[in-house]
Amino acid sequence: MSPSPSNEASENVASGPSPLPWHLLPDNASVGPNGRLSIGGCDVLDLAAEFGTPLFVYDEDHLRSRCRDAVEAFGAHATYATKAFLCQAMAKLAAEEGMGLDVASGGELHVCLAAGVSPDRLVFHGNNKSLTELRMARDAKVGRIVVDSFDELDRLEALHLEDGLVPSILLRITPGVKAETHEYIATGQDDSKFGFTVSTGVAKQAVDRAVEMPGVELKGLHAHIGSQVFRIDSFAAAVKVLGQFANPLGLPELVVGGGLGVAYVEGEESASIAQWARAIRQSVAEANIEAAIGIEPGRAIAAGAAVTLYTVGTIKQLPGIRTYVSVDGGMSDNPRPVLYGSGYEAFLPRAVTANRTFEARIVGKHCESGDLLVRQAKLPQDVAVGDILATPVTGAYGHSMGSNYNKILRPPVVFCRDGNARVVVRRETLDDLLTTDLG
């Protein structure tokens, strides 16, 4: 698999007319005789009419199939990173398919517990877990706490003195491998807020301390080099460092994190979960690692499973400059373009295979010039006000990173399967905006 360049921080540059590349759509996408797109057997224009826009439409079987791929490769040591996309239905789905779930805050923990996920299948992360969060995780008896700092070890020790509980932990290790991705989501380099650094000797000090501490049971190590990483050799480099560090310790578990990149735009190619798993297995064998290996994918499970539907409200032609197509969502449902300069494609579900010959910038409805969804999009020539417009590959870090900026109501999420659409997150209401506002 030849690596594709990460589209983080690269602009989405239109490269001549073409239809939407089909592989950017969910597994169970199809075109009806009328040229209209269906996902999971549901006509997406009907979904827009029924549930309104903006709307996240997920192909449920796509999610299930990616979870199964991960479990097939790493069994019970395959963990879904819920930060990519979380609601109770998603937590249940990942657990039903045999995955553990990684949570990175008390909030994510709360949602997973509310969904009925067995606590021993939960892995609790975070570089600055509060005492309250650590209490929650310990009281719930989560399977693993991934400890990120000496201060956290202090907190765990103090809590142990209070109640005598001994949680099982992994130590987050920084291998000193800089993944090729946007700097905001690269986490394996030495200069990082995450983990204990190998090269400075701090990781060894952390292991020594954890082994001595009565308040924790050290089960193994954890590393995560970053997100949206296309280069498989970056993972291999991390495994090599981890092997050198971990092998003499003889700990039973080693989690190599998530981070597998996905294709967002035309021309990008990504490895499948199975290919990624094979490469990890190979580097694990080369590094003579005997510990049980775990992975923690988020994006690779959820990103490609969804499209977001919007309604075109305004088309503004600036002669000699560009055309702005404004839709009814924006940075509040997909902040990635604003945060990382991420690229996306766009298309019209009423004509999903149509050639896209019209260039425009697709922007949201927020009060910021930076509120753009696709910097340089291609659309069919006849795009018009009132059209339903879609962006594919929005299943990860869209809904989960969304906000209420401008008091925009968060969109609903529907799971589609075998022709049935199930609302798993309803649209926010105006009254929801006031639930925490005491007036």
Ligand X SMILES: Cc1ncc(COP(=O)(O)O)c(C=O)c1O
Residue 377 CB partners (closer than 8 Å, separation 6+): 12, 14, 325, 344, 345, 346, 356, 359, 360, 361, 362
- Name which of 276 and 347 has its Cβ closer to ligand X: 276
Residue 38 Cβ vs ligand X, minimum distance, rounded to whole Å = 27
Best CA proximity match to 359, nearest among 346, 372, 349: 346
Q: How far is the CB of 298 from ligand X (least distance, A)?
A: 3
Q: Which region, judged by CB under 6 A, interacts with ligand X, from 26-34, 210-218, 221-229, 271-279? A: 221-229
Give the H/E segment covering residue 396: none
* Cα–Cα nearest to 272, from 99, 26, 70, 63: 70
Among 24, 179, 300, 352, which residue sits at the site for ligand X (rule: CB under 6 A)?
A: 300
Count of CB atoms situated within 10 Å of the CB of 321: 9
Give the shortest CB-223-to-ligand X separation in angstroms: 9
With respect to ligand X, which residue has the nearer C-beta, 41 or 341? 341
> β-pairing, 79-81 with 100-103?
parallel
| CB 41, min distance to ligand X, A | 27
Torsion of CA 191, 260, 221, 281, to 10 degrees: -130
20/78 with CB nearer ligand X: 78
Question: In angstroms, rounded to a whole number, what is the distance separating the alpha carbons of residues 99 and 112?
Answer: 12
Q: Should residue 81 be labelled a site residue for ligand X when binding is judged by CB under 6 A?
A: yes
Identified binder of ligand X from the candidate list 224, 356, 378, 399, rule CB under 6 A: 224
The site for ligand X, by CB under 6 A, has a size of 17
Q: Considering only residues 42, 71, 73, 84, which one is a binding residue for ligand X as defined by CB under 6 A?
A: 84
What separation in angstroms does the CA of 342 have from each of 45, 236, 401? 26, 25, 14
Segment lying near ligand X (by CB under 6 A), choices 77-85, 340-348, 384-392, 423-431: 77-85
Q: How many CB atoms lie within 10 A of CB 339?
A: 17
Asked if 144 interacts with ligand X (CB under 6 A), we say no
297 part of the interface to ligand X, by CB under 6 A: yes
Q: Are 221 and 242 in contact (CB under 8 A)?
A: yes
User: Environment class of residue 240 by beta-carbon count within 10 Å: exposed (0-12), middle (13-18) or buried (19+)?
Assistant: middle
Q: Give the nearer residue to ligand X in terms of CB position, either 6 or 53.
A: 6
Q: Which residue, chain included where needed, has tokens 């060894």?
A: 204
Query: Closest CB to ligand X among 187 and 332?
Result: 187
167 binds ligand X (CB under 6 A): no
Residue 8 interacts with ligand X (CB under 6 A)? no
Helices 88-96 and 106-114 sit at what angle, rounded to 10 degrees? 70
Window contacting ligand X (CB under 6 A); options: 19-27, 81-89, 109-117, 416-424? 81-89
Select 297 or 412, whichever has its Cβ closest to ligand X. Answer: 297
Give the N- to C-terminal CA distance of the chain in Å, as an integer. Answer: 57
300 vs 348, which CB is nearer to ligand X? 300
Residue among 26, 175, 259, 380 that touches ligand X (CB under 6 A): 259
Please state, in angstroms and as integers, the Cα–Cα distance from residue 219 to each residue in 210, 249, 254, following that order. Answer: 10, 11, 9
**Is 186 near ligand X (CB under 6 A)?**
no
- Two tokens, residue 30: 């199809």
The nearest distance, CB 367 to ligand X, in angstroms, is: 29
Interface with ligand X includes 61 (CB under 6 A)? no
Say whether residue 69 binds ligand X (CB under 6 A): no
Sign of the alpha-carbon dihedral angle for 59, 314, 400, 271: positive
The single residue among 36, 64, 77, 125 that binds ligand X, judged by CB under 6 A, is 125
* Contact residue for ligand X among 258, 329, 330, 380 (CB under 6 A): 258
What is the nearest approach in angstroms of ligand X to the Cβ of residue 115? 19
Q: Looking at the annotation, which residues are catalytic?
A: 367
We find the least distance from the C-beta atom of residue 136 to ligand X, in angstroms, to be 18
Pick between residue 186 and residue 408 the one whose CB is nearest to ligand X: 186
Min dist CB 413 to ligand X, Å, is 18
Helix axis angle, 232-246 to 273-286, nearest 10°: 40
257 sits near ligand X (criterion: CB under 6 A): yes
Sign (positive/negative) of CA torsion 424, 427, 430, 434? positive
- Tell me the residue type at 265: V
Does position 296 bind ligand X by CB under 6 A? Answer: yes
- Residues of this chain that bind ligand X (CB under 6 A): 81, 83-84, 102, 125, 224, 227-228, 257-260, 296-300
